[in-house]
Amino acid sequence: MNRLGYATRLNTTMPIAPETRFTQARDLELREVPEGYVVYERTRDRLHFLNGAAAFVLQCCDGTTRADELPAMLAAAFRLTADPVAEVDACLARLVSEQLVEGELPPPA
């Protein structure tokens, strides 16, 4: 497992564009539990278990925060000595694969 609590076997060969803005899926309930966080998807009646860092990333997926801003935000929130770029990319890839978030590129200027 990596620092975000996800197995490192995820296929992250397709890099996430830095300007991608992620939004949470509709009807998610995020609750803190002793071992981390539980996310309940009402629409699919599914439970997901996240650690604190993954839950932080999920909560930052508000449609306004860019993907390239997330590592620095996570590092500041958890007082890390370096920005966890690869870990955040893997976390976002997993959140996308679990359909908890969707990414969207901003329209061309």
Say if residue 7's pLDDT is above 80. no
Band of pLDDT at residue 109, cut at 50, 70 and 90: low
The DSSP bridge partners found for residue 28 are 41
> pTM score, two decimals?
0.83
Q: What is the mean pLDDT of residues 59-67?
A: 96
Band of pLDDT at residue 16, cut at 50, 70 and 90: confident
Is 67 within 8 Å of 92 (Cβ atoms)?
yes
Band of pLDDT at residue 12, cut at 50, 70 and 90: very low
Residue length of the chain: 109
The DSSP bridge partners found for residue 38 are 31, 49
